[in-house]
Chain A
Amino acid sequence: MTALLPLALLLLLAPLLPGVAARTVALATGRRGAPVLQLYRDLRRLWGKDLVYGAVTTGVFRVAPVVWVFGAVAAAAFVPLDGRSALARFPGDFLLFAGLLALGRFALTLAALDTGSSFEGMGASRELLIGGLAEPVLFLGFLTLSLATGGSSLSELFGTGVGDAWPRVGATLVMVALSLAMLLLAEASRGPIDDPATHLELTMIHEVMALDHSGPDLALLLYGGALRFALFGALLVQLVWPRGAMGDLAAAGRLAAGLVAVAALVGAVESSMARLRMIRIPQYLVSAGVLASLGALLLLR
């Protein structure tokens, strides 16, 4: 039961994070910006709208939004959100976590190609490149953590073991956290990898794949994106702010505060640096991987 509360919190809080990040960017650039709760309003409005489908689209296009959200929600069930243990856990569940996120990406990119649009093809192409390179980075992070904590499930890698590991292998955990933070920006389609605020199709990555989705389908797509942001944010919070001896409610508050802080940080990064050129993205992801493997090398000695 204690694991259900933080999961509900994560699912409810997810749409807040893009709002917080956007607000931070607005404040940093001297604007007032949209309300923090803007995405909730957008979702509600979209939820009530009618639907338009592209003329050539098939069932793949219809199924994809559901799979996209389903993958993220199912993945959330394996993250130890309360700081101890996840709703479901088994040795090797981090592979399922990665697999469920990959399932979402599979569905989303196929739906993009289903429209027959050149823009969406471009988005799919970029998303596949980022996804293909992000996968080894994620696994390197998991591997380094499994070496640091000796665990083999997400609940062990990001659960109470992390708190015990900080005094022993702090340097390694710092590197993994940095690598995970870089990965978060890529996986959640935030700057400097992607620009969620751009209005030009040619420069979009994630947004462009949603061009032909409408109504509730678009709402699902937006929500799933926010949920991925929250998932990686939760992993990061778990890593840098272990639960320690907190009570259940305090731990849930810690998760919420941590997520908002991560979103604000993402906003700060977005407002302080220009977007990377597309051909720099592989270098960015490879350096994230190098950071995680340096952490592992420190452990091998």
Chain B
Amino acid sequence: MTLYGPLALRLDPVAVVFLAPIALIGALALIYAPAYSRLGRGAPFERGRAATLGHLATLTLLLASMALVVVAANTVLLLVAWEIMTIASWALLTEEHHAREVRVAGLGYLVAGHVSGAALAVLFVLLATAGGGWQVPVAPVDAARFGVSPVLLFALALVGFGTKAAVAPLHVWLPDAHASAPSHVSALLSGVLVTLGIYGLVRFVPFLGSDPGDWGMALMALGAAGACGGIVMALGQRDVKRALAYSTIENVGLIALAIGAALVAGSAGQPLVAALAMSAALLHVWNHAIAKGLLFFSAGAIARLVGSRDLERWGGLLARLPLLGTGLLAGAAALVGLPGTHGFASEWLLFMALFRGSQTLVGPARFVMLLAVVATAFTTGAALAGFVRILGIGLLGHPRGPEAAAARPPRDAALALPVLVLAVSCVGLVPFLGPMLAVIGRAVAALTPGAPIDRVARLASPLPWLAAIPALAAVAFLLYRTWLERGRTIRRAVTWDCAYARPEATMQYTATSLAQPVTRLLHPALRTNVDWRPPQGLWPDAMTWVSRTPERALAEVYRPAFRRVAALLGFFRRIQEGRVMVYLRYVGVALLILLVWFFWPAGTPR
């Protein structure tokens, strides 16, 4: 027992849903980490055994704090775990701090973590004063009765949890952080840690105020913006891990949209739609954790072997690194939601919720559902393009550089195991969608009152059968191949190049040119800037063409805002003197003021 009530733990169905990815990806990351350190150049553990142990210890601390966040039933305990989680992940993220970009990313991450922590601290205090006590809420908190504005509570929850979840527009710290962390840390950050922000949203938002429908609308709008914006930004990135990080923003957007749809439908009295949407959100948390973990594990190892995260230096890697390449392929297929992978299931649930919502809801809620269908459909289409770009440019074709051409598969079981496990589960989990949905159903029932879980399960009952798709396709392919190879000469020849005599790797389409139709179409939003020095004169020498797609929210909103705040607060820097004498003087003055206030004749203070 403490001042803030018992520091209790609670293992309920919601916690179970969020614990599962922590356990799975966490265990695999612990296996992967030492193998990753032995890979390629610039290994992070060059400083020796002690540093290695320190790294693994910090990793374990991160896992423990994440688990504590999920099971904490007391808000103060949750906040403590939350802060430990931020610090531990920051320490892991800045492992390779000799590079400047890593330090910059680490600073951004720390600032975002503090903003999130501060907002949560205020939120928890307000909740306690509004009669909710210090326990994580399980029933609506009627804050308005205690003079606390529910809008304020929602805004605080959004900043507190949304910053960690990278809900747009609070996502700006994420691409830098996830791109420059060691890859197993990226996998944990992107696949798991981000979803703890989602955890906070589903735990708190439904219970802030009596009608969460308005919060639902807000979440849907932010989610749609993040989903569309994230995937379009991913199309503009040459850095593989950065592109994957933007895809995380996209997926978090979809999850936020689904949670929003559940809240909207729930408050409009459509429990089936709400249950479908909440199941979609929670199942997508799992699917995203598996697929994104796989993508970061395999892409990170490839980047180490090639010595670059730049797509234009990859190429021809599926032939050279079959296992890692296949891992990337499987993860991409699952994240795009192709039928036959588990990723299709959550996409299906989300669309079903939105379609049902469009049919049954009325008024603005219905209109919002219609818009959400368009946004989600655009996102899935663009995600296909984004991942075909990563796979096609990064893994296929000629090697685009000498390092890619020389890449050899690492003989390291500890590296192969996580990739293999996750790649197999992308397809292998499909027959087990029924039991998976049963586990998720219990959490959905706890989060959306009166949710008809059995109807969701009945609707989703055809999904496990979709495991037949890859099986049938494989059978068809094998039959075709055996028929093909009978009595037929199969030759290899140079790729068709209009009869040009010397095809070269540099003649291939690049990642930038592949995405060019999209980046040109969306130029008003993306502002891809191109620095082109055309060849000049009769004997042209050097020419350059460089294009970059910057993070606009960071460059145009956050940086100027932070600069303004820094200028305003600069005044207070003068008070911070640095000499003990001065500080003692402050203490004296403060004491004097308090004494005067206390003994002021006109009555004693409250």
Binding site for B on A (CB under 8 A): 50-56, 58-60, 62-63, 66-67, 70, 74, 90-93, 95-96, 99-100, 102-103, 105-106, 109-110, 112-122, 124-126, 128-129, 131-136, 138-140, 142-143, 146-147, 150, 152, 201, 211-212, 215-216, 278-279, 282, 289, 293, 296, 300
- Chief secondary structure at chain A's binding surface: helix
- Asked whether B381 lies within 8 Å of A132 as measured between CB atoms, the reply is yes
Roughly how many angstroms separate A118 CA and B398 CA in the complex, as a whole number? 11
- Asked whether A74 lies within 8 Å of B469 as measured between CB atoms, the reply is yes
Given A51-B490, A52-B491, does the pair A126, B338 have CB atoms closer than 8 Å?
no
B32 at the interface (CB under 8 A from A): no
What is the distance, in angstroms, from B2's C-beta to the closest C-beta of chain A?
49
B576 at the interface (CB under 8 A from A): no
- Asked whether A131 lies within 8 Å of B469 as measured between CB atoms, the reply is no
Residues of B within 8 A of A129 (CB): 385, 517-518, 521
Residues of A within 8 A of B389 (CB): 128
The contact of B492 among A55, A132, A136, by CB within 8 Å, is: A55
What is the distance, in angstroms, from A214's C-beta to the closest C-beta of chain B?
9
- Asked whether B396 lies within 8 Å of A131 as measured between CB atoms, the reply is no
B505 at the interface (CB under 8 A from A): yes
Residues of A within 8 A of B393 (CB): 113
- Asked whether A102 lies within 8 Å of B338 as measured between CB atoms, the reply is yes
B581 at the interface (CB under 8 A from A): no
- Asked whether A132 lies within 8 Å of B388 as measured between CB atoms, the reply is no
- Asked whether A99 lies within 8 Å of B494 as measured between CB atoms, the reply is no
Roughly how many angstroms separate A208 CA and B179 CA in the complex, as a whole number? 35
B191 at the interface (CB under 8 A from A): no
Can you report 25 A-B residue pairs in the complex whose CB atoms are below 8 A from each other?
A: A51-B489, A53-B490, A54-B492, A54-B494, A55-B493, A56-B396, A58-B396, A60-B396, A92-B355, A113-B393, A113-B397, A116-B316, A116-B398, A117-B495, A124-B509, A126-B517, A128-B388, A129-B518, A131-B385, A132-B378, A139-B373, A139-B377, A140-B374, A216-B480, A300-B367
- Asked whether B491 lies within 8 Å of A50 as measured between CB atoms, the reply is yes
The contact of B319 among A58, A100, A109, A138, by CB within 8 Å, is: A58
- Asked whether B392 lies within 8 Å of A212 as measured between CB atoms, the reply is no
Roughly how many angstroms separate A122 CA and B490 CA in the complex, as a whole number? 27
- Asked whether A115 lies within 8 Å of B356 as measured between CB atoms, the reply is no
Residues of A within 8 A of B505 (CB): 116
B116 at the interface (CB under 8 A from A): no
- Asked whether A282 lies within 8 Å of B509 as measured between CB atoms, the reply is no
What is the distance, in angstroms, from B280's C-beta to the closest C-beta of chain A?
12
- Asked whether A50 lies within 8 Å of B490 as measured between CB atoms, the reply is yes
- Asked whether B373 lies within 8 Å of A116 as measured between CB atoms, the reply is no
The contact of B382 among A53, A56, A103, A132, by CB within 8 Å, is: A132
Residues of B within 8 A of A103 (CB): 338-340, 469
Roughly how many angstroms separate A197 CA and B258 CA in the complex, as a whole number? 45
Roughly how many angstroms separate A121 CA and B398 CA in the complex, as a whole number? 12
Residues of A within 8 A of B518 (CB): 128-129, 132
B391 at the interface (CB under 8 A from A): yes
B95 at the interface (CB under 8 A from A): no
Residues of A within 8 A of B489 (CB): 50-51
Roughly how many angstroms separate A74 CA and B374 CA in the complex, as a whole number? 25
The contact of A92 among B316, B318, B351, B496, by CB within 8 Å, is: B351
Interface centre among A102, A134, A211, by most chain B C-beta atoms within 10 angstroms, is A102
What is the distance, in angstroms, from A257's C-beta to the closest C-beta of chain B?
31
What is the distance, in angstroms, from B191's C-beta to the closest C-beta of chain A?
22
Residues of B within 8 A of A150 (CB): 359
Roughly how many angstroms separate A251 CA and B489 CA in the complex, as a whole number? 45
* CB nearest to B375 among chain A residues: A136
- Asked whether A211 lies within 8 Å of B472 as measured between CB atoms, the reply is no
Given A58-B396, A140-B374, A146-B358, does the pair A113, B388 have CB atoms closer than 8 Å?
yes
Residues of B within 8 A of A51 (CB): 484, 488-491
- Asked whether A136 lies within 8 Å of B377 as measured between CB atoms, the reply is yes
- Asked whether A106 lies within 8 Å of B336 as measured between CB atoms, the reply is yes
The contact of A99 among B338, B356, B374, B491, by CB within 8 Å, is: B338
- Asked whether A110 lies within 8 Å of B392 as measured between CB atoms, the reply is yes
The contact of A128 among B472, B488, B514, by CB within 8 Å, is: B514
When A and B form their complex, which 9 residue pairs have the shortest distance between CB atoms, in order from nearest?
A121-B509, A113-B392, A135-B381, A116-B397, A139-B377, A132-B381, A128-B385, A136-B377, A99-B339
The contact of A102 among B384, B507, B520, by CB within 8 Å, is: B384
Residues of A within 8 A of B520 (CB): 279
- Asked whether B356 lies within 8 Å of A106 as measured between CB atoms, the reply is no
Give per-residue flags for B327-363: 1 if the beta carbon is below 8 A from chain A beta carbons, else 0.
0010001001111100010011001100110110000
Give per-residue flags for B389-433: 1 if the beta carbon is below 8 A from chain A beta carbons, else 0.
101110011100000000000000000000000000000000000
- Asked whether B348 lies within 8 Å of A121 as measured between CB atoms, the reply is no
Interface centre among A100, A125, A146, by most chain B C-beta atoms within 10 angstroms, is A125
Roughly how many angstroms separate A55 CA and B319 CA in the complex, as a whole number? 12
B601 at the interface (CB under 8 A from A): no
Roughly how many angstroms separate A60 CA and B396 CA in the complex, as a whole number? 9
Could you list 9 further interchain pairs (A-B, Cβ under 8 angstroms) beyond the known A99-B347, A132-B384?
A55-B493, A55-B495, A91-B459, A95-B348, A113-B392, A121-B392, A132-B381, A140-B377, A278-B517
- Asked whether A152 lies within 8 Å of B355 as measured between CB atoms, the reply is yes
- Asked whether B337 lies within 8 Å of A99 as measured between CB atoms, the reply is yes
- Asked whether B336 lies within 8 Å of A110 as measured between CB atoms, the reply is no
- Asked whether A116 lies within 8 Å of B491 as measured between CB atoms, the reply is no
What is the distance, in angstroms, from A272's C-beta to the closest C-beta of chain B?
26
Given A92-B351, A212-B495, does the pair A136, B378 have CB atoms closer than 8 Å?
yes
Residues of B within 8 A of A201 (CB): 498
Chain B, 283-325, CB within 8 A of any chain A CB: 315-316, 318-319
- Asked whether B490 lies within 8 Å of A117 as measured between CB atoms, the reply is no
The contact of A118 among B476, B493, B508, by CB within 8 Å, is: B508
Residues of A within 8 A of B358 (CB): 143, 146-147
Roughly how many angstroms separate A216 CA and B495 CA in the complex, as a whole number? 18
B531 at the interface (CB under 8 A from A): no
- Asked whether B377 lies within 8 Å of A60 as measured between CB atoms, the reply is no
Interface centre among A70, A135, A146, by most chain B C-beta atoms within 10 angstroms, is A135
Residues of B within 8 A of A56 (CB): 316, 319, 396-398, 495
Given A50-B490, A113-B397, A121-B509, does the pair A70, B473 have CB atoms closer than 8 Å?
yes
Residues of A within 8 A of B494 (CB): 54-55
Roughly how many angstroms separate A239 CA and B490 CA in the complex, as a whole number? 45
What is the distance, in angstroms, from A78's C-beta to the closest C-beta of chain B?
11
Roughly how many angstroms separate A91 CA and B349 CA in the complex, as a whole number? 11
The contact of B392 among A52, A109, A118, A136, by CB within 8 Å, is: A109
- Asked whether A113 lies within 8 Å of B318 as measured between CB atoms, the reply is no
Roughly how many angstroms separate A92 CA and B378 CA in the complex, as a whole number? 18
- Asked whether A58 lies within 8 Å of B318 as measured between CB atoms, the reply is yes
Roughly how many angstroms separate A146 CA and B381 CA in the complex, as a whole number? 21
Residues of A within 8 A of B382 (CB): 132
* CB nearest to A65 among chain B residues: B480
- Asked whether B384 lies within 8 Å of A113 as measured between CB atoms, the reply is no
Residues of B within 8 A of A67 (CB): 473, 477
B604 at the interface (CB under 8 A from A): no
- Asked whether A125 lies within 8 Å of B517 as measured between CB atoms, the reply is yes
Residues of A within 8 A of B344 (CB): 96, 99
What is the distance, in angstroms, from A71's C-beta to the closest C-beta of chain B?
8
Roughly how many angstroms separate A74 CA and B481 CA in the complex, as a whole number? 20
Residues of A within 8 A of B65 (CB): none
Roughly how many angstroms separate A50 CA and B376 CA in the complex, as a whole number? 44
What is the distance, in angstroms, from A159's C-beta to the closest C-beta of chain B?
17
- Asked whether A124 lies within 8 Å of B514 as measured between CB atoms, the reply is yes
Roughly how many angstroms separate A215 CA and B481 CA in the complex, as a whole number? 13
Roughly how many angstroms separate A301 CA and B454 CA in the complex, as a whole number? 34
Roughly how many angstroms separate A119 CA and B503 CA in the complex, as a whole number? 12
What is the distance, in angstroms, from B324's C-beta to the closest C-beta of chain A?
14
* CB nearest to A282 among chain B residues: B521
The contact of A96 among B329, B339, B481, B521, by CB within 8 Å, is: B339
